[in-house]
Amino acid sequence: MNDFLAARSQMAISLGFHIIYSCVGMVMPLFMAVSHYKWIKTGDPVYKNITQAWSKGVAIFFATGAVSGTILSFELGLLWPKFMEHAGPIFGMPFSLEGVAFFIEAIALGFFLYGWNRFNKWFHLFTGLIVGISGIISGILVVSANSWMNNPTGFDFVNGQYLNIDPIKAMFNGSWFTEALHMSLAAFSATGFAVAGIHALMIAMKKNILFHTKAFKIAIIFGAVAAILQPFSGDLSAKNAYKTQPAKLGAMEAYYHTVPYSPLVIGGIPDTAAKKVNYGIEIPGLLSFLVHDNFKEPVNGLDKIPVQNQPPVTITHLAFELMIAIGSAMMLLGLIYFTALWKKRSWLSKKWFLNLFIWATPFGFIAVEAGWTVTEVGRQPWIIQGIMRTSQAVTPMPGIHYSFYLFTAVYFTLSIAVIVLLSRQIKMVPELYDR
Amino acid sequence: MLYVVIAFLFLAIVLYFLLGGADFGAGIIELFTSEKNRQQTRKTMYQAIGPIWEANHMWLIIAVVILFVGFPVIYSQMCTYLHIPLLVMLMEITARGTAFAFRSYDAVKGERTQNLYNHIFVYSSFITPLFLGIIAGSAISRQIDLHPASFVAGYIFSWLNYFSVAVGLFTVALSGYLAAIYLIGEADDDKDAKRFIKKAKYMNIIAVIFGGMVFIAAGFENVRLAHWIFGNSVSLTAVIAATISLILLWVLISRGKKKIIRIFAGFQVTMILLAVGYMHYPYFIMIKGGQNLSLMSLHAPNKTIDDLGWALFIGSFLILPSLFYLYYSFQKKNDVV
Ligand code: HDD
Ligand code: HEM
Ligand code: HEM
């Protein structure tokens, strides 16, 4: 494995690991706040138990998220020093604000986790809310930094020099809103479905039904609302991608040849040599419609992009298809849930109904990983779209593949540990909370 | 604004040394506690650092962010030539943070797993400040070579030299010392407090010895440490202040003043950092052959520095009061319980 490939893979695995913990860290505090609030309002001890049980799981996630985030802030320099040398002053604004948000989050977390029976109930609830709000703000900020890499603004690039730098403009680049919106919804739907799925499994196994039913409901309402909104926000993201990164859109859709009534390909395996897609279903005009809101106007395809500026098509296309498939499935599940809640209450305890949500446990996180693959691989060969190539940014230090193996081993071990700890946590629910 | 940013950078580094250091030190103390007293030490420590460790470590993130936004060239050179010690440090931070969280939140308190977490925790508590010190030492040891002849010359000897390692050991001892001083005020009873006082005294002696070794190693490596420190009045004053506060501290410990000694210990370490920092300022990293990396010339464009300064300024209004309230709420209250 050459050093460049190793550096890219290490970055991908680190971010792919961190994102799971940050999604949970962003969203779970709000779930806990809801259940905490219900406890204060109704006095029902089940809600207190749910809050405490969740907070123990979340503490594990937080610690793992915090250390993997610390790794990332060095990794940007360890792997991409040339990138950071130029990009740091431009896209650093969200990172500095994010530092502040993380700090507040860490402080509030100390109050929340160790503050049981110590503070006024309302103050305790407030600290939990602050954890969630600052988590979401920091997520939005860091995504805004990423969106700058996709849509770099806030400076003039003259003869290889970065002049007239304006960090505020860079932070509010044209892509920050679509990306931040889509990512925040993704965090809610992925975490909501994962948590709901675990509780559904416990209900199906007839364990602590009261506890798990209440927990399921809080999680799935968040998840379902986000999942229903997700495709609309994804549509905005795709339109924006076409405007700012046509090569990425071309690769996402595996759309090689520019034609009017541009077709949308569903499924299929790209044949990069022959520049066509095998086994896919083509719907003429739909891509034109999605991009331009009319069926006729041609969408520019990969043939308009010089070959050396094209991203890998197969990975980008397959990841995109996976995200869409899961997104549609989750939206459907969200609608089913609300139908059950409002019209068909009897479904809620049916075996098939629970099974649907049990199966959907990992869906959201798979979609998150697929979505980031689209965004990041689809930007290649650029690290800063149109400005700097990824290969120009990589560290001169040789032997990066050893560091890649090391990181892979560490993340693998940590993942196993977290899974084991979480399942122990769930198994202990009856003993800890059922007296 | 540049001065504001530099002040925040030093503030973050000093606070990370003090708070993060005390935090690592708690693990070091545990490592050097006899089997018999370990359980009790662990309990005190858990109560003392549980709520605050995550906040303590944020100072590192703040320092890194200031570096890569405000001084990107320095950050990228540091990351390139000190890649390996940074990597080790990150691995140890990961091991330590997760082991600490896992041992408190593992729902099944099995003996074997708890033992494993304890082991990882105490050893990584030792190695992290060691490498932190090595990185700090390497920054001023003039061993970083921007045109290395070989891999070993460029990426290994940049940090593996007597001076850097001595600074690393000195950092470990200081961390243990800070932690022991802090824990005296958190102890459950007098017997416990006495143990921490003893630990504090040992750690102090060890720190003085390692401090001496730093000077000797500096001689080996031609680092002009003595000249830096004794050659200007600010550094000299700082060293004298540190020494006086050391004497006062010993007096206060034996009088049983448990909280006030924290201030003296913090002051001492701050003075040491000031003495070293002042002399090279504005150089942040010293390079072989003299092309030192200066905070005054390698900073980001003014607009970025201005915005960064404002962000830090506004941020500190949000952070500092809540941080104080956190420390205040979780320190041992003798009236409660
Ligand atoms: C639960 C997760 C999830 C689900 C169900 C979806 N997405 Fe997504 N998508 C993400 C999670 C995600 C993500 C991981 O959050 C990404 C990566 C970067 C980003 O901002 O969001 C993303 C990126 C992303 C991009 C690339 C944006 C860019 O790079 O500029 C597009 C075009 C879409 N999505 C479109 C969709 C559509 C049309 C969906 C409809 C079904 C959809 N996504 C469902
Ligand atoms: C947490 C969610 C994220 C995931 C899962 C993710 C995933 C990836 C992947 C798969 C790559 C490798 C692409 C390739 O080389 O083919 C990559 C590269 C990279 N990402 Fe991301 N990314 C995420 C967010 C971010 C954010 C927020 C930033 C920074 C602000 C960022 C910065 C980078 C950089 C610097 C590279 C290396 C250069 C490059 O390949 O373009 N990523 N990421
Ligand atoms: C889309 C990508 C990302 C999102 C949504 C995200 C979000 C978060 C969130 C919510 C946390 C809080 C801790 C937790 O919840 O477990 C966190 C931790 C952290 N993240 Fe990320 N992050 C992303 C990528 C990155 C990148 C690229 C970096 C570094 C450059 C980074 C640096 C950090 C740091 C330093 C922490 C630890 C802060 C603490 O101690 O609380 N993150 N991240």
In chain A, count H helices and then E strands: 15, 8
Q: Is the pLDDT of residue B184 over 70?
A: yes
For residue range A224-280, what is the model confidence (pLDDT) as tens digits? 999 999 999 998 998 888 888 888 888 887 777 787 778 888 887 887 777 777 787
pLDDT at A434: 58
Length of chain A: 435
Residue B232's domain comprises: 1-333
Q: Whose CA is nearest to atom 37 of ligand 3?
A: A66
pLDDT band with cut points at 50, 70 and 90 for residue B334 = very low
Nearest-CA distance B134 → chain A (Å): 16
Interface touch A77/B75, C-beta < 8 Å: yes
Strand partners for A384: A388
pLDDT at B36: 73
For residue range B34-66, what is the model confidence (pLDDT) as tens digits? 777 777 777 777 777 777 777 778 888 889 989
More confident site: A133 or A343: A133
pLDDT at A433: 63
Q: What percent of chain A clears pLDDT 90, i.e. is strictly above it?
A: 24
Average pLDDT over residues B228-234: 75
Which chain B residues are within 8 Å of A414, Cβ to Cβ?
Answer: 94, 98
The pTM for the full model equals: 0.88
Contacts of B197 (CB under 8 A, 6+ apart): B180, B184, B253
Average pLDDT over residues A88-102: 86
Pocket of ligand 1 contains residue A230 by CB under 6 Å: yes
What residues of chain A, 88 to 147, have a C-beta less than 8 Å from chain B? 88-90, 92-93, 95-100, 102-104, 106-111, 113-115, 118-119
Q: Are B259 and B185 in contact (CB under 8 A)?
A: yes
Amino acid at B252: L
Average pLDDT over residues A47-64: 85
Interface touch B304/A90, C-beta < 8 Å: yes
For residue range B118-131, what is the model confidence (pLDDT) as tens digits? 889 888 888 998 99
For residue range A170-203, what is the model confidence (pLDDT) as tens digits? 788 888 899 999 999 999 999 999 999 998 988 8
Average pLDDT, chain A: 86
More confident site: A380 or A429: A380
Which chain A residues are within 8 Å of B145, Cβ to Cβ?
Answer: none
Average pLDDT over residues B268-280: 78
Interface touch B61/A56, C-beta < 8 Å: no
Interface touch A165/B54, C-beta < 8 Å: no
Instruction: Choose the closest CB to A110 out of B51, B106, B108.
Output: B51
Strand partners for A18: none
Most confident of A75-89, A220-234, A381-395, B104-118: A220-234
Helix axes A176-204, A313-342, angle to 10 degrees: 60
A13 at B interface, C-beta within 8 A:
no
Q: Is the pLDDT of residue A34 over 80?
A: yes
Instruction: Choose the closest CB to B79 out of A78, A92, A97.
Output: A78
Phi, psi angles (nearest 5°) of residue B221: -95, 10
Pocket of ligand 1 contains residue A23 by CB under 6 Å: no
Average pLDDT over residues A345-364: 85
Please state, in angstroms and rounded to a whole number, the distance separating the CA atoms of residues A40 and A256: 58
Average pLDDT over residues B88-101: 89
Strand partners for A163: A156
Preceding amide of B148 cis, omega within 30: no
Q: Is the pLDDT of residue B301 over 80?
A: no
Q: Which ligand is nearest to the CA of A65?
A: 3
Which chain A residues are within 8 Å of B304, Cβ to Cβ?
Answer: 89-90, 92-93, 165, 167
For residue range B2-21, what is the model confidence (pLDDT) as tens digits? 788 888 888 888 888 888 88
DSSP A388: E
More confident site: A435 or B210: B210
What residues of chain B, 72 to 101, have a C-beta less than 8 Å from chain A? 72-73, 75-80, 83, 86-87, 90-91, 93-94, 97-98, 100-101
Instruction: Choose the closest CB to B68 out of A88, A168, A403.
Output: A88
What atom in ligand 2 is closest to the CA of residue A383?
41
pLDDT at A182: 94
Nearest CA in chain A to B108: A424
pLDDT band with cut points at 50, 70 and 90 for residue A304 = confident
Average pLDDT, chain B: 80
Q: What percent of chain B clears pLDDT 70, i.e. is strictly above it?
A: 96
How do the domains of chain A map onto residue ranges?
3-251+313-434
SS3 of residue B67 by DSSP: helix
The count of structural domains within chain B is: 1
pLDDT at A20: 92
B272 at A interface, C-beta within 8 A:
no
Q: Are A100 and A141 in contact (CB under 8 A)?
A: no
A65 at B interface, C-beta within 8 A:
no
More confident site: B306 or A131: A131
